[in-house]
Amino acid sequence: MNRYKKKVVLREEAGRFILPRPETTNHGNTLLPADPVDFAALFGNANPIEIEVGFGTGRFIIEYASKYPALNLLGIEITRKMVDHVANKILKAGIANVRLIHTDGRAYLRERVPGSSVERVHVYFPDPWVKKRHYKRRIINQDFLGAVHRALKPGGRFNFFTDHRDYFDYFTEHKQAFGKFADDDAIGDYTPTSYEMKWVKMGRTIYRSIMRKT
C-alpha cells in the first residue's frame, strides 16, 4: 500500500531512466513472452547488476548508486507515482547507473531477468499486509524466492529487512521451506531507507536477513 501523498509530475528529461512497462496478462502477475533484458545494452557497459524490488521513495537506490558508480542498479516498483518520483530524483542527483521499471517484481525477476546475472537483490520494508486474508498479497512466497534464486549468480546475495516481527517469522518459514539459500552476514554497504530511519527513530526493532545463493 502506497502512502506517498504528494502529487508527482515526471520531468521530461527524467523519462530516460524508466524502462517501458512490460505487457501483462493474469491481472499483471504474468508477463507476455519477450526476450530477457540485456543489461549490457541497457546500461551501455558490463558492470555488475544489483536489483531493488520495491524502492519506495528511492533513498537507498539513489545513495547506493551514487556511492558505487561502477555498479548498475535496476529498481522495480509496482506504484507508478513512485517510479516517476524517483526518476525525477535520479535526474536531480546527476547519476547515470540507475534504471527503473513499473511492473510486478516477482514476474519481472522470473520472466525477464536472465538467470545467474545479478550480484544482489534488495527487498527493504515491503508492505506486511497484516490481515491473514491479505497474506496472498505479500511479496514473499515460494515463487518469489525461486525467482530471486534464479536471477542471482552463484554466491549472490539476497537482503530482506522488515520492522514487522510476524512478517519476519513468515519470511523465515518460507526461506527454510525453500531451502536453497545459506544464511550470510555480508550485508554490503547499506544505506538506510526512509522507512528504516522513521522506524528506528520510533524505537522499533529492525529484523534483517542476508542470504547467499547455494
pLDDT level of residue 2 (50, 70, 90 thresholds)? low
Q: Over the stretch 10-58, which tens digit does the pLDDT of each residue have? A: 999 999 999 999 988 866 677 888 899 999 999 999 999 999 999 999 9
- Is the pLDDT score of 208 beyond 90? yes
**How far is Cα 154 from Cα 145, in angstroms, rounded to an integer?**
15
Instruction: Say which of 38, 104, 127, 185 is annotated catalytic.
Output: 127
Q: Over the stretch 98-123, which tens digit does the pLDDT of each residue have? A: 999 999 999 999 999 999 999 999 99
- pLDDT at position 189 is 78
- pLDDT at position 4 is 61
Q: Over the stretch 126-151, which tens digit does the pLDDT of each residue have? A: 999 989 898 888 999 999 999 999 99
Strand partners, 75: 52, 100
Task: Please report the DSSP string for 58-124 in residue order.
Answer: -HHHHHHHHH-TTSEEEEEES-HHHHHHHHHHHHHHT--SEEEEES-HHHHHHHTSPTT-EEEEEEE
**How far is Cα 173 from Cα 171, in angstroms, rounded to an integer?**
5
- pLDDT at position 27 is 67
Q: Over the stretch 174-183, which tens digit does the pLDDT of each residue have? A: 999 999 999 9
- pLDDT at position 147 is 97
Q: Which of the listed CATH numbers 3.40.50.150, 3.40.50.300, 3.30.67.10, 3.40.50.2000 matches domain 46-213?
A: 3.40.50.150
For the beta carbon of residue 107, count every other beta carbon within 10 angstroms.
Answer: 20
- pLDDT at position 79 is 94
- pLDDT at position 190 is 81
- pLDDT at position 127 is 92
84 is catalytic: no
